[in-house]
Homo-oligomer: A and B are copies of this chain.
Amino acid sequence: MATRLSDVAARAGVSVKTVSNVINDYPHITARTRAKVEAAIAELEYTPNVSARSLRKGRSDFIALAVPEMASPYFAELGAAVSRAAKKRGITVLIDQTEGEAAGEKLVLDGMRGQLIDGIIFSPITTSPAKIGSADTAKPLLLLGERHAGGTFDHVAVDSVQASFDATTHLISIGRRRIAAIGVGGGAGTGSVRRKGYRKALKAAGLEVDPTLEVGGPGYHREDGAASMRELLALPEPPDAVFCFNDLLAIGALRALADAGLSAPKDVAVIGFDDIEDGRFHSPSLSTISPDKEWLAENAVALLLDRIAGSAGRRDSAGNGEADRVDLTVPYTLQIRESTGG
């Protein structure tokens, strides 16, 4: 049914080896031969069988991106950026939805899709760093997220402590003094990392840390943010500002404010983290920490592909694995919009 390499060879009057050479851009082919082969490929509408190629080469030019949920705007935007970055390099991205479950994440670590994929970019949420560190992955693995810095794998993330410090400091700079944090107990450890930056900023400004103002988690969705905001508004002394550990929480918080007849930034200033597109269109528009997702995607893909190219010869990385591990820090900016009075 499908045309094969040998059909093309027959049509062009050359050997299969020559056709293969043309397809794989090997040197030492005369322009004339190349033209003949390319004409035959076009006439027969030939497309190489990737299963056969992958079986033979041990490389598929597929990588996986494993995220908790692809419908979550941050991961959807990240997935789009990673797909684009990979496509530029001739690589296809498989997006894997772990649903944040240990089972799904274990599958990622163990199965690696039956050797189809060459490597994986993994944003874990349930599995602990320790377990990931000891995972016996046959393929290169790159970790996303602040929790995994200093581990045994390559790692790309924002400096979350610094970014959280900046977000909190911004709230202080617009005159707020009773600043809450939403999301401290969640996000796969993200909560504790971002709280660290939040507390640091309070202390640097001589403000007291009040644990009753640190709420939320483990959920990081809009409804969780709304619930946390309601909780804060019910306090004897409600906050005058809130740092939400992601934009989804912040959007929920804005909604809860509106439901209570209050508004940001007048009653409570609100800042988020992620800069998902929707935040720009809310009323009020959402101030946020904006990690450079394009940068993240480009560098994560490039680094993983380097590893894949390098690991072709390696049997075992135990010997030199630790030494050449890379931690990349994603640049970010502070976006000041209406929700903090911008």
Contact = CB atoms under 8 A, between A and B. Distances in A.
Interface of A: 1-2, 45, 47-55, 60, 69-73, 76-77, 79-80, 83-84, 87, 92, 94-95, 97, 110-116, 138, 222, 226, 251-252, 254-255, 258, 277-278, 280-283, 285, 315
Contacts of A277: 71, 222
A255 B70 CA distance: 26
Given A50-B116, A283-B255, A71 B76 contact: yes
A49 B80 contact: no
B84 A80 contact: no
27 contacts: A1-B138, A1-B315, A47-B110, A47-B115, A50-B113, A50-B115, A51-B55, A51-B60, A51-B115, A52-B55, A53-B114, A70-B70, A70-B80, A71-B73, A71-B76, A71-B79, A73-B76, A73-B278, A80-B97, A83-B97, A87-B97, A92-B113, A222-B280, A255-B281, A255-B283, A278-B278, A282-B283
**Closest 5 pairs (CB-CB, A-B):** A50-B114, A76-B76, A71-B80, A51-B54, A51-B55
Nearest to A57: B51
Q: Is the interface of A mostly helix, strand, loop or mixed?
A: helix
A158 to B, nearest CB: 19
A26 B51 CA distance: 24
B255 A49 contact: no
Given A138-B1, A258-B283, A55 B49 contact: yes
Contacts of A50: 51, 113-116
Nearest to A252: B281
A278 B254 CA distance: 12
A302 to B, nearest CB: 19
A251 B113 CA distance: 39
Contact of A45 (B79, B110, B113): B110
Nearest to A54: B51
A80 B221 CA distance: 16
B71 A111 contact: no
A153 to B, nearest CB: 19
**Which of A2, A281, A315 has its CB near the most chain B CB atoms (within 10 A)?**
A281
